[in-house]
Amino acid sequence: MCDTPTVADTAPSAHAEPLGSDATQRLVDALVAITSPLDLDTILARIVEGAMTMTGARYGALGVYDGTRLERFLPHGLTEDEIARIDHWPHGEGLLGLVMDEARPVRADDIARDPRAAGLPAGHPPMTTFLGVPITVRDTVYGNLYLTDKAGGAPFGAEDESVVVAFASAAGATIENARLHHRAREAAVADDRERIARDLHDVVVQRLFAAGLGLMSVVPRLSDDVRAVVEATVTDLDETISEIRTTISDLRSNPSKDALPSPSASRTSPRPRAASWASRPG
């Protein structure tokens, strides 16, 4: 089954009201950005800004969760001084928790007086009206997109909700797309590691072993001085093969590592003697 989100997966629900032409264009821009080379945070920031512009919200934010942990948080509308005074970002409780737990849009006309609210973090500027929408793909909640303080002090309405649901759908597709690409890259890295391990064993180790055998075959015909140099070289080759075999083992047993182990870190046994060349390569 294909994991790529479809239009049906990310489209607003049937009860959402039709979008105006401006909102539709901004939503189209957000969807086009999904396939652009821009980084994830830049695309998500555009989505938040588009939702704020179309609803007249003073503040907006998008939170992405990995389980219960806040993975990303992109606030908009706050000044640098306001951000510096905030004790911590929201933990996903109260109204935000309701959005996540029930996976549905939530509106509030007065955050401070709403019994569902958990209050704002210390140092957070006061906010009044609220509209929060879950970011979902195929019934999986990735986070939330929420806005506060609609222009003129009016509460957010059904049309605002329709717009934000659409932008949240675009955000869900963006996040899912980024995660699918990440998993694809990890799979490619794992495939590369296996290929590198196979090439190291089938090509590099075998050739080094053959070279060592060739050198050892002429040792009996050499003078003592030359024999000592050749045997030392063969011993170095033997140690190199041992290190490569350790690297091959690490490549195959630790697919999540980002870098190959260094030869010095791979060394786990004493320096082998030249006589070990009598054994078959493994």
pLDDT at 188: 85
Lowest mean pLDDT among 11-15, 95-99, 162-166: 11-15
User: How far is 222 from 218, CA to CA, in rounded Å?
Assistant: 7
Report the 10 Å Cβ neighbour count for 209: 18
Confidence of residue 160 (pLDDT cuts 50, 70, 90): very high
Range 71-78 average pLDDT: 92
pLDDT of 280 above 60 = no
pLDDT in tens, 114-143: 999 998 889 999 999 999 999 998 888 989
User: How far is 172 from 127, CA to CA, in rounded Å?
Assistant: 26
Range 28-38 average pLDDT: 63
pLDDT of 279 above 80 = no
pLDDT of 182 above 60 = yes
pLDDT at 26: 64
pLDDT at 191: 85
3-state secondary structure the chain: CCCCCCHHHHCCCCCCCCCCHHHHHHHHHHHHHHCCCCCHHHHHHHHHHHHHHHHCEEEEEEEEEECCEEEEEEEECCCHHHHHHCCCCCCCCHHHHHHHHHCCCEEECCHHHCCCCCCCCCCCCCCCCEEEEEEEECCEEEEEEEEEEEHHHCCCCHHHHHHHHHHHHHHHHHHHHHHHHHHHHHHHHHHHHHHHHHHHHHHHHHHHHHHHHHHHHHHHHCCHHHHHHHHHHHHHHHHHHHHHHHHHHHHHHCCCCCCCCCHHHHCCCCCCCHHHHHCCCC
pLDDT of 150 above 80 = yes
pLDDT of 277 above 70 = no
Residue 282 vs residue 170, higher pLDDT: 170
Residue (of 24, 23, 172, 19) closest to 103 by Cα position: 172
pLDDT at 25: 66
Confidence of residue 111 (pLDDT cuts 50, 70, 90): very high
Number of C-alpha atoms within 13 angstroms, CB side, residue 248? 17
User: How far is 233 from 4, CA to CA, in rounded Å?
Assistant: 55
Number of C-alpha atoms within 13 angstroms, CB side, residue 195? 6
Do the beta carbons of residue 238 and residue 272 sit within 8 Å? Answer: yes
pLDDT of 37 above 70 = no
> 49-58, 184-193, 215-224: which has the highest mean pLDDT?
49-58
Counted residue by residue, the chain has a size of 282
pLDDT of 223 above 90 = no
Contacts of 176 (CB under 8 A, 6+ apart): 3, 5, 137, 142
Confidence of residue 211 (pLDDT cuts 50, 70, 90): confident
pLDDT of 85 above 80 = yes
